[in-house]
Structure 1
Amino acid sequence: MYKKNNKWNKHNKRIVIVTIVLVLFSVFTLVTSRSASGIETMFKDTIANIEYYVIKAPIEYVSHLFDEYSDLKDVYNENAKLKEQLDNLARESAMNETLSNEIEELKKLTGIDFLPTEYQVKYTNVIARDAESWNNQVTINLGNLSGIKEGMAVISSDGMIGTVTNVSEISSTVSLLSSETSKSQLPVMIISGDEEYYGLLNRYDLSSKSYRITLLSDVEKLEKGAKVVTSGLGGVGKSPKGILVGTVENYTVGDDATESVCMVKPSVNFDSLNYVAVVQRVNEK
């Protein structure tokens, strides 16, 4: 057994020596820029194949496995988030149904026909938007024949975008809240913690891309990120209560200390308005 091992070791040594000689000879050929012989070319190809299959290929394979693992981990995390959202949606749907039933019972007991937050929507889409008045107005394909009236609120899936200011038989013009030239003042309500404050949205600042809201309530502090919704105090034909407008970014007191102002980030992306809806209070025909 010892003799066999000894012979095997001598054989391996000879292979190593031959390999080293060939490698050195190949390096010498490259350095001296000799034209390689057939044997040298074959040897270099062999070395290149060994380098690829022994070193590069395994590294690429392992790297690919790590990439696949990372992708699978991302998919797993996304699925976990989606499952959590679906669970929350199921709970919220059940809660909404319960609250809706309770509200209907209370309305019957108190004799109230409608609430300020109740409204109907008529879905439509934007059919015209000029570059010159991009931030000011859009045209929708609903008009008098569809029961649209001036002053009605118009919303997207993200919140309020503006109000109807001109109505024809089959179309209407919507003045956007992003218009700097708008003279309308939208009554809003700010929900900060357990407190509710009232104010008027009176203009849009293009430089900061935020609404300027003059507060009517006495306010000591507003939480950043507090939700701003319509207050429903605009009168008949105006916006109902509870439509999302945006979130508070900052709050300041005017120079004369008599006017409190907060800047609000819109909930809507005004550069992407395609499908919208006109809002109608349930008590208005």
Structure 2
Amino acid sequence: MFWITIVLVAASVISLLTSTNNIPGSGIVRDTVANVEYYVIKAPLNYVRGVLGEYNELKEVYRENKRLKRSLDNYARELALNNVLADELQEMRSITKIKSLPTDYKVKYTTVIKRDSENWDNKVIIDIGSGSNVKKGMAVITSKGMIGIVSSVNRVSSTVTLLTSEDRSVQLPVMIKSNGKYYYGLLNDYNVESQTYKVQMLSTVNKLKVGSSVTTSGLGGKGKTPKGILVGTVKGLSNNASATGKTVTVKPSVDFDDLSYVAVVQRSNA
């Protein structure tokens, strides 16, 4: 550091003295000082800065690998547990002669073929219909959760009323799991400004954990939406009970601005 300081001071003095072109050889001296300053000071500092940057990047990669390893370990455990539970469930079905459960369903994959700008938040049209056993009232989902309900069916296409629709006739039975308990309600409204659903609670509830999962309850009737499809997460609970009960604001799990590939859900017992 002492010698670097000496070099810097000397370089500054020489640069000051040779700042005018009237001194013979000033250009050579200036170039020499510039080269010394670059190779002795700037280049080593840039090299050290680069090494430190790469070291920090390696540390971040190491931490990310540890997080991924923990996730893979958890996934392996959950997969093994799911396999065990699936075997036990199949055995129980054989014993009790139960053919299907409320959570059993199959899907038919399709695409959105039309979405008018005037009905952007209300409806979409998909390219399968009654020819593919699609029926009115069936749920429509993406990989992230439920988007709407089939409201009309043609031979080769169907209209889906979205959960963001202004049509108040769409009432979806849902359930909320919070602190180990299940609470039931009806999703019957969507707030455009806050981009949240409103769920009218049917169960008596005083407190809900923010972030709790909101799924379909399967109580809409035979052939309707099955149980267990993700709808969103709890964002808040109204403290003031109205004449119709408390309401819950729910953040949708789906991005409704990006609907291309969807699936129609059919209950196994339909």
**Which one of the candidate residues 12, 16, 26 is aligned to 1:27?**
16
C-alpha deviations, 1:195-237, integer Å up to 9, x for none? 1111000010111111100011111211111111100000122
The percent identity for this pair of structures is 52
Give the 3 Å change call, closer, same or farther, for CA 47–241 of structure 1 in structure 2. Answer: same
Paired residue for 1:175? 161
- Structure 2 counterparts to residues 35-184 of structure 1, below 5 A: 35=22, 37=24, 39-184=25-170
Structure 1: runs of 5+ lacking an equivalent: 1-15
User: Using the alignment, how far apart are the partners of 2:247 and 2:240 within structure 1?
Assistant: 7
Answering whether residue 188 of structure 2 is matched by residue 202 of structure 1, we say yes
User: Using the alignment, how far apart are the partners of 1:249 and 1:81 within structure 2?
Assistant: 27
Give the 3 Å change call, closer, same or farther, for CA 162–26 of structure 1 in structure 2. Answer: closer
TM-score normalized with structure 2 length? 0.91
Give the 3 Å change call, closer, same or farther, for CA 101–213 of structure 1 in structure 2. Answer: same
Partners of 1:187 and 1:233 within 8 A in 2: yes
Paired residue for 1:282? 268
The Cα of 1:136 is off from its aligned counterpart by 1.0
User: Using the alignment, how far apart are the partners of 1:182 and 1:283 within structure 2?
Assistant: 28
**Which one of the candidate residues 158, 180, 193 is aligned to 2:179?**
193
Structure 2: runs of 5+ lacking an equivalent: 1-5
When the two chains are superposed, the root-mean-square deviation of aligned CA atoms in Å is: 1.9
C-alpha deviations, 1:56-97, integer Å up to 9, x for none? 111111111111111111211222222222221111111111
Greater helix fraction, Structure 1 or Structure 2: 1
Give the 3 Å change call, closer, same or farther, for CA 155–26 of structure 1 in structure 2. Answer: closer
C-alpha deviations, 1:138-162, integer Å up to 9, x for none? 1211111111111100111111111
For residue 16 of structure 2, what is the amino acid of its counterpart?
Answer: V
Query: After alignment, is 127-136 or 113-122 more displaced?
Result: 127-136
Any runs of at least 4 consecutive aligned residues in structure 1 with deviations exceeding 3 A, and if so which? 22-26, 33-37, 253-258
User: Using the alignment, how far apart are the partners of 1:193 and 1:26 within structure 2?
Assistant: 73
Give the 3 Å change call, closer, same or farther, for CA 45–202 of structure 1 in structure 2. Answer: same
User: Using the alignment, how far apart are the partners of 1:117 and 1:264 within structure 2?
Assistant: 22
User: Using the alignment, how far apart are the partners of 1:163 and 1:26 within structure 2?
Assistant: 78
Q: How many residues align?
A: 263
The Cα of 1:29 is off from its aligned counterpart by 3.6
TM-score normalized with structure 1 length? 0.87
Rg larger for: 1
Partners of 1:175 and 1:182 within 8 A in 2: no
For residue 111 of structure 2, what is the amino acid of its counterpart?
Answer: N
The Cα of 1:28 is off from its aligned counterpart by 2.9
What SS does structure 1 have at the residue aligned with 2:221?
Answer: coil
What SS does structure 2 have at the residue aligned with 1:271?
Answer: coil
Give the 3 Å change call, closer, same or farther, for CA 26–97 of structure 1 in structure 2. Answer: closer
**Which one of the candidate residues 243, 248, 252 is aligned to 2:238?**
252
